[in-house]
């Protein structure tokens, strides 16, 4: 009888740990903190970003007056050149929450002429967890890291919990029959 309880207890504990981990991932970062998304005051967005440890699931908030600014996600080349001729996406509400759901660089600039050049650009870089990095001595040749890799979603916690139910259930039956 004790083993039934232990088994299910462990399963539930692991489920909760996993769910807690996923939930705790979603930190909210307001770009520029109290200054927001602006060209006033020479906010150093590079410095702002490098002091943060962004993770998949985090929410990046851009707060600004939409009469004067906007937010455009661009490629590396466009970011370097402050070229906003073909952005990946454009946000214009003045209070834009963007959920970061992939690893790597997420590059945002203001598309108003001159603003990116004036420093209104930010690089949200999500580093891969060290334990997930492929080891150099790995026998399977690892592909060259690509720009974006899909990350586990919240629903994975639900899937895992469902899986654990099916795993622990036969054990439960087995114990009852004895």
Ligand X SMILES: *[C@@H]1O[C@H](CO)[C@@H](O)[C@H](O)[C@H]1NC(C)=O
State the number of binding residues for Cu ion (CB under 5 A): 5
Looking at the Cβ atoms of 86 and 166, the one nearer to ligand X is 86
Residue 86 touches ligand X, criterion: CB under 6 A: yes
Looking at the Cβ atoms of 58 and 63, the one nearer to ligand X is 63
> Which residues fall within 8 angstroms of residue 23, CB to CB, at 6 or more apart?
154
Binding to ligand X in span 24-63, by CB under 6 A: 63
Residue 35 touches Cu ion, criterion: CB under 5 A: no
Assign 107 to helix, strand or coil: strand
Q: Using CB distances below 5 to 8 A depending on partner kind, what does residue 86 bind out of ligand X, Cu ion, none?
A: ligand X
135 conformational bin, left if phi > 0, alpha if psi -120 to 50, beta if neither: beta
Q: How far is the CB of 148 from ligand X (least distance, A)?
A: 18
Residue 112 touches Cu ion, criterion: CB under 5 A: yes
CA distances from 121 to 5, 23, 39, 75, 89 (A): 54, 28, 10, 12, 14
d(CA 166, CA 79) in angstroms, rounded, equals 48
Residue 47 burial (C-beta neighbours within 10 Å; 0-12, 13-18, 19+): exposed
Q: How far is the CB of 81 from ligand X (least distance, A)?
A: 5
Nearest-5° angle of CA 127, CA 132, CA 133? 75
Find the binder of ligand X among 25, 55, 73, 83 (CB under 6 A): 83
d(CA 39, CA 20) in angstroms, rounded, equals 38
Residue 153 touches ligand X, criterion: CB under 6 A: no
Q: How far is the CB of 112 from Cu ion (least distance, A)?
A: 4
Residue 110 touches Cu ion, criterion: CB under 5 A: yes
Q: How far is the CB of 61 from ligand X (least distance, A)?
A: 7
Give residues in contact with Cu ion (CB under 5 A): 69, 110, 112, 115, 120
Give residues in contact with ligand X (CB under 6 A): 63, 78, 81, 83, 85-86, 95, 97
């Amino acid at each position: 009888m004790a083993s039934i309880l232990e088994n299910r207890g462990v399963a539930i504990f692991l489920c909760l740990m996993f769910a807690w981990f996923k939930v705790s991932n979603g930190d909210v970062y307001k770009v520029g903190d109290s200054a927001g998304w602006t060209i006033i005051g020479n906010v150093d967005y590079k410095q702002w970003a490098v002091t943060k440890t962004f993770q998949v699931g985090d929410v990046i908030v851009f707060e600004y007056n939409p009469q004067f600014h906007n937010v455009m996600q661009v490629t590396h080349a466009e970011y370097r050149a402050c070229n906003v001729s073909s952005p990946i996406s454009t946000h214009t509400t003045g209070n834009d929450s963007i959920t970061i759901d992939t690893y790597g660089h997420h590059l945002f600039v203001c598309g108003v002429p001159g603003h990116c050049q004036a420093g209104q650009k930010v690089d949200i870089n999500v580093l891969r967890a060290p334990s997930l990095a492929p080891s150099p001595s790995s026998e399977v040749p690892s592909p060259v890291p690509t720009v974006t890799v899909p990350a586990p979603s919240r629903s994975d916690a639900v899937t895992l919990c469902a899986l654990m139910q099916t795993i622990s259930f036969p054990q439960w039956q087995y114990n009852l029959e004895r």
